[in-house]
Structure 1
């Protein structure tokens, strides 16, 4: 029941210059720990990128914390209701980019594709001189994509620049880019402009916002998400299933990670094959010594490598800096 969904899942990003980003990572992480926010957050010199979960009130505090900082006041949150945390832990990492793109020289605050709100995207997408370009990876667009979208054979977004060479014949078209939440399109559309494409757009807020505000019409299949839900419904108007079970080939939008941790591919596997192969993508992976226990979800918590969420965190108290000690039991 909707009224029982006391948790929120937040998806957001913000391109903004952060001086001493590693120190801000510490401050940001402490806030999350103290307010029971869980998820994955990247802090970079170029901005923030996160997917987090928490009780509704805690998420309200978290959004106020971010938007209360003048650097991030423009941050827009995609908010989804849920019945529990979508993550088991909190990780706030410093990385060179907020999305690995190999396009560090591009600043979306300087130049990027024109932002289209969901209803604007919906009105424009079927016009004759328009190309809808999916800038996500193979495992994402194989699970779901817009009707008639052009997809690229890439395993990671950092491969996008090389693939643009194949799109030269589309320079006279309106190019509408889209991704999960909008962050990849900021750099992708900026790169297209740099390469001589003149009429470039991006779906503001990505697939997730399109589903929330425009009903998800003509998005075929499900949308891959980076939390323990793995895949979510988007289309409330004309839904369909476009992906097939990796094992038996029957239509299936049940996305899993292979239980063999050395394989770990993201593929659709139907319920029956999932249990028969114990979450593995093949008989070989089922017998592999690194196969993880399968609980029917196909989601596995990433190896944290001894990561301690309290390490290095400090708070000011009575004008003295005190270390925040980790609890006696730290899961």
Structure 2
């Protein structure tokens, strides 16, 4: 049985002193024998950790004891081996870079749709108001090539900072439709859905992203695997490591 617990989590919340918090979290992670990456910025926290289950969950429990992170939710998967080489804790300008300082999810997130509701919409071919549903992949092109939702819109962006300009270019194509933006764990969609709504698009974000969909719905309406930013490379809808001889989605 796989013995290494892998988690991803994020939270948009004001952090006045990310540099000071960096030292605290680095010491705590090292003490637990954890590896991975934690990104801190004044806008929040974004983390990917792996290690023994008790140590990982203990780290998360301690983090949630801080009221800024009390609502932190995690996505879990398992592996036989440690997928990270080292433990990094970095202070950044943004925990997910978009270069749009006016987009502040902590001030109010765009509405989200749960996997259960989205499953119903996809099965019936429209949302509950009869509008066409468009699945919009907000990830970079190389990630999309590993797998995505069936018939999803993919603007072939190379980095997330290009997303706002892509919205401006394709806005008219989305008029009158219900757009569900999605990404790996949900963090990019927090900003993407805000940008879409500011452009006048009826947009929602998929709650907990692709990994949350896999947890609840498995591979329904999904084609391929899901790229992850560690040595596992990609996960199947069963949240298992991708078959190394598998072919990416064309």
Tell me the equivalent position of 2:101.
104
Tell me the equivalent position of 1:74.
71
Give ranges in structure 2 of 5+ residues lacking alignment: none
Tell me the equivalent position of 1:6.
3
Deviations 1:115-167 (A, max 9, x none): 12211121123325111100000001111110010001211111101111222
Tell me the equivalent position of 2:247.
252
Instruction: Tell me, yes or no, if the aligned pair for 2:36 and 2:87 is still in contact at 8 Å.
Output: yes
Deviation at 1:113, TM superposition (A): 2.4
1:190 aligns with 2:194: yes
Q: Which has the larger radius of gyration?
A: 1
Q: Which has the higher contact order (CA 8 A, sep 6+)?
A: 2
Higher mean C-alpha displacement, 123-132 vs 140-149: 123-132
Tell me the equivalent position of 2:179.
175
1:149 aligns with 2:146: no
1:121 aligns with 2:109: no
Deviation at 1:77, TM superposition (A): 0.2
Aligned with 2:105: secondary structure? coil
Runs of 4+ in 1 over 4 A off after TM superposition: none
How many positions carry a matched residue from both structures? 239
Instruction: Tell me, yes or no, if the aligned pair for 1:143 and 1:222 is still in contact at 8 Å.
Output: yes
Deviation at 1:213, TM superposition (A): 0.9
Out of 42, 45, 57, which is 1:45 matched to? 42
Deviation at 1:37, TM superposition (A): 1.1
Instruction: Tell me, yes or no, if the aligned pair for 1:67 and 1:74 is still in contact at 8 Å.
Output: yes
TM-score (ref. length: structure 1): 0.69
Instruction: Tell me, yes or no, if the aligned pair for 1:87 and 1:228 is still in contact at 8 Å.
Output: yes
Out of 127, 135, 138, which is 1:135 matched to? 138
Deviation at 1:171, TM superposition (A): 2.7
1:88 aligns with 2:91: no
Tell me the equivalent position of 1:206.
209
TM-score (ref. length: structure 2): 0.90
Instruction: Tell me, yes or no, if the aligned pair for 2:43 and 2:106 is still in contact at 8 Å.
Output: no
Distance (Å, rounded) in 2 between the aligned partners of 1:113 and 1:148? 23
Distance (Å, rounded) in 2 between the aligned partners of 1:87 and 1:185? 25
Deviation at 1:235, TM superposition (A): 6.1
